[in-house]
Amino acid sequence: MATATASHTPEDVFDVEAIRAQFPILSEEVHGKSLVYLDTGASAQKPQLVMDAVDDMYKHAYSNVHRGAHRMSELATDRFEHAREQVRSFLNAAHSHEIIFVRNGTEACNLVAFSYAKKFLQEGDAILISEMEHHSNIVPWHMVAEEKGLRVLAVPVTDDGGFDMDAYDRLLEDGVKLVAVTHTSNVLGTVTPAKEIIRKAHAAGAKVLLDGCQSAVHMPVDVRDLDVDFYAITGHKLYGPSGIGVLYGKEELLNAMPPYQGGGSMIKTVTLTKSTYAPLPAKFEAGTPAIAQAVGFGAALDYMRSIGLDAIRDYEEDLRAYATQKLSAVPGLKIYGTMPGKAAVISFTLDKAHSHDVSTILDRHGVAIRAGHHCAQPLMDRFGVAATARASFGMYNTRADVDRLVEAVEFVSEIFG
């Protein structure tokens, strides 16, 4: 029987090599070096079984869904609806019809803005976001606010990258009817205190949308335990295909909301002068959806669950701690976001080199990171930087990847002196 020793690390119990073997792209070479992929925050790589699920559907079970009274349509519909059930189970939602398939996290936020907020918020009401939002959870609110005469307020971010709870308490009292904040910052890695945010919002009479695009890849998410009203996720950041995302919404809210787009699939009856709408979830799924992508997404979620979201979180926490320690030792390197419990997302700057130069040099070492404003310009302004470099980890990364990252960063220092 195996026993824990002093040198015990999560790598010993987490079979990362078996996971890596599922991701063909990790065997690619970039500029003559094996790929070190540290841009999972932008988009995760895909395991073979996701590609197989998509491939198998196109080969054996493909047609449009919810339409034809023929075998292929039935098979396709079964697989598509099974994917919805897989998402429900992944998020622990009460009902599969609370799972609305959309294109991505951006569309999920837009759906809440242009269906829920547009219908239920009144002139002068406030929407409360935070300083660490992705543009996808900022711009839709600006758009609907302009149209409806709403106010958009923002919770500040503390120096260590935390959600300023004192400010939140104050701001909530200012006519806030909807709180739309991230569950995990794509730049800082900060995991926001979602349960407290939600409990306080509800006490103040506001609903809550959590942007979970960066959370669900790193940790277990339970929408019922959170008691969240809306939750946005996107397939491509969860090891699934792009073009598919999900808005979870509580049944009673989704039922009360008007459709977001009109078209095929979402109707009950249509005459030349009037339409009536289908029940959930079809009401919000106008037009042919991303069928095979949904099926691939479901396969990706099942794969993550087979490994275990707790195990993934613990393993990535070890990587985060190791990377933080190694990077912190590089002279002139500053890390943004140092909150306890943060996800394995590390944004940094070097005092002598701009993040684009860092990214270019790392790329030539086979190390893929993101450089830029990360679609979070207000946060960049908050920290007074134009851009940062960001290494974001997934379950397939290793300590050896961290070593390659640090080695390449040291080469940047060598060039820039």
Partner 1 sequence: MLDELRELYQEVILDHGKNPRNFRAMDNATHKAAGRNPLCGDQLVVYLAVDEDGKVADASFLGKGCAISMASASMMTEMVHGKTPEDAERLFENFHTLCTTDHTPDAPEGLEDEVEKLEVLSGVRQFPSRVKCATLSWHTMDAAIKGEEEISTE
Mask 364-403, x = binds partner 1 (CB under 8 A)?
xx-----xxx---x--x-----xx----------------
Whichever of 168 and 383 has its CB closer to partner 1, that residue is 383
Amino acid at position 105, single letter = G
Q: How far is the CB of 94 from partner 1 (least distance, A)?
A: 41
Asked if 207 and 178 touch (Cβ cutoff 8 Å), the reply is yes
**Tokens (6 digits) for 290:** 């991303």
Q: Which strand ranges, in their side-by-side order, compose the sheet holding 370-372?
A: 333-336, 345-350, 388-392, 370-372
Q: Is 277 in the site for partner 1 (CB under 8 A)?
A: no
Find the shortest distance in angstroms from Cβ 371 to partner 1: 7
Nearer to partner 1, 17 or 351 (CB): 351
> Which CB, 25 or 415, lies closer to partner 1?
415
Q: Which of residues 23-62 bind partner 1 (CB under 8 A)?
A: 31-33
340 binds partner 1, rule: CB under 8 A? no
For residue 129, give both structure tokens.
Answer: 């976001």
331 binds partner 1 (CB under 8 A): no
- Does the protein bind partner 1 through residue 65 (CB under 8 A)? no
**415 is a site residue for partner 1 (CB under 8 A):** yes
- Exactly one of 318, 357, 403, 407 binds partner 1 (CB under 8 A); which one? 357
Rounded Cα distance, 168 and 163, in Å: 8
Stretch that binds partner 1, among 15-23, 119-127, 293-301, 408-416 (CB under 8 A): 408-416
Cβ closest to partner 1, residue 258 vs residue 378: 378
Among 328, 329, 356, 400, binds partner 1 (CB under 8 A): 356
- Write down the residue that tokens 């302009």 correspond to: 146
Kindly tell me which residue out of 354, 378, 403, 407 binds partner 1, with binding defined by CB under 8 A.
354
Give me the least distance between CB of 161 and partner 1, in Å please.
Answer: 19
- Which is nearer to partner 1, 217 or 358 (by Cβ)? 358
What amino acid is encoded at 164 in this protein?
D
Tell me which of 137, 184, 347, 355 binds partner 1, using CB under 8 A: 355
State in angstroms the smallest separation of the CB of 310 from partner 1. Answer: 37
Q: Number of residues in contact with partner 1, rule: CB under 8 A?
A: 24
Nearest residue (CB) to partner 1, 29 versus 123? 29
Q: In whole angstroms, how close is the CB of 33 to partner 1 at the nearest point? A: 8
- The reply to whether 361 sits near partner 1 by the rule CB under 8 A is yes
d(CA 154, CA 167): 9
What's the closest the beta carbon of residue 132 comes to partner 1, in angstroms? 17
Does 301 help bind partner 1 (rule: CB under 8 A)?
Answer: no
Q: Do residues 113 and 329 touch, judged by C-beta distance below 8 A?
A: no
Please state, as a whole number, how many other Cβ atoms lie within 10 Å of the Cβ of residue 172: 21
List residues with catalytic annotation: 375
Smallest gap from residue 377 Cβ to partner 1 (A) = 7
Binding residues vs partner 1 (CB under 8 A): 31-33, 352-357, 360-361, 364-365, 371-373, 377, 380, 386-387, 411, 415-417
